Structure 1
Amino acid sequence: MNDSGQFYYEIIMSASMPVKVVMIILILASLWSWLIIFSKGRVLANAHNKAKKFEEHFWSGVDLNKLYEKISTQKNTGSALIFEAGFKEFKRKQTVKSGGIQSIEGSDRAMRVALSREIEKLESSLPTLATIGSTSPYIGLLGTVIGIMLSFHALSDVTQATIALVAPGISEALIATAMGLFAAIPAVIFYNKFSDKVERIYAQYDAFKDEFSAILHRQIG
């Protein structure tokens, strides 16, 4: 460990217990946010790639009945799940001869439900990331306030106050603030980035749903 690392380590280890508790909370919050960041990044990237791959296959001119038979035996997500839900309902309505309009309405409802559930899955954990990003600076500030209060309280037991007496307490207090920012900044950045990605994926799913619904309309026209 270099001199700088040793310096910060000694400050953290010599911190008062309330400030240590705040630091531990911030370390755990930072670790939690990075776990979410890595896992959610993979999930969103996979969702985008799978949707793109399925839609390329869909628009390649494949027979819809054969495509449905192929994917109905698989565990689908994204655009494939929306297609499966919509076409399944369309075929069911056609089988019971409930009419063209009813077939399209039922298919649209099924696709909307599937789309909503997919977006709900993609948005999971994002509120946690937002909470970490918004609360960590205040938790760090709480540690700062506690550290400074304890430092000045210690001066009541001495006859002559010097900067050397309060410097360690103020140092640990400022480190608590820095740790709060360290936990908050990545959480805020990636929350905004992932929210934008979810919006883009939603637009991709919604556009596919509308285009597929138009195809079904032409089939009963």
Structure 2
Amino acid sequence: MEYLKESVDYGILAILFFMSFVSIWLSIERYFFYKSVDLMEYKTKNEVEVILTNNLSTISSIASNAPYVGLLGTVMGIMVVFYDMGQNSSLETSVVVIGLSLALKATALGLLVAIPSMMLYSAFLRKTDILFAKWEDEINKKI
């Protein structure tokens, strides 16, 4: 059971760390892409839309799923606390409360990954709309 306690914490934390790393990495990539993109290289509406929204769905998926990963860690942590409570004949309130508070850290970390990811996704979506509008204006000038 000790192995399960440690693996739950480290496993969930590793998944959330990986999710945050991917979200930050893709956000940096999008930021520099939007700063350097030449919209007139693309001839069709679909080309522009695909290139501007590339990687945004991954950021959005991370933002929407990170709380669930954190919640999974919390549920598993609470299960471990209940198992420990059942194994020990003496129940001390402080031990139970500490175990539950440690279990809740996974949900907090999931939210810590999700909130900035959702903010970045929304900002990039807005930037995509602006760049797409600029592209449409340039195409309409040529006509």
* TM-score, shorter chain, exceeding 0.5: yes
- Offset of 1:169 from its aligned partner? 2.5
1:30-179 equivalence runs, <5 A: 30-47=20-37, 77-79=38-40, 81-82=41-42, 111=43, 113=44, 115-179=45-109
The structure 2 residue matched to 1:23, chosen from 5, 13, 35, is: 13
Q: Where does structure 1 differ by over 3 angstroms across 4 or more consecutive aligned residues?
A: none
Aligned partners of 1:46 and 1:172: how far apart in 2? 44
Which is bigger in relative contact order (C-alpha 8 A, separation at least 6)?
2
Determine if contact 1:16/1:147 at 8 Å carries over to the other structure.
no
The normalised TM-score by structure 2 is: 0.89
Code of the aligned partner of 1:177: T
- Tell me the alpha carbon deviations over residues 9-58 of structure 1, each in whole angstroms, 9 at most, x when there is no partner: xxxxxx531232111100110111011111111111222xxxxxxxxxxx
Quote the sequence identity (%).
27
Code of the aligned partner of 2:18: L
Gaps of 5+ in 2: none
- Tell me the alpha carbon deviations over residues 169-203 of structure 1, each in whole angstroms, 9 at most, x when there is no partner: 32321111111011101110010000010011001
Code of the aligned partner of 1:45: K
- Offset of 1:167 from its aligned partner? 3.6
Determine if contact 1:27/1:179 at 8 Å carries over to the other structure.
no
Aligned partners of 1:193 and 1:131: how far apart in 2? 15
The normalised TM-score by structure 1 is: 0.59
Aligned partners of 1:123 and 1:205: how far apart in 2? 14
Alignment coverage as a number of residue pairs:
139
Aligned partners of 2:85 and 2:6: how far apart in 1? 15
- Tell me the alpha carbon deviations over residues 138-169 of structure 1, each in whole angstroms, 9 at most, x when there is no partner: 11011011101110111111222112322443
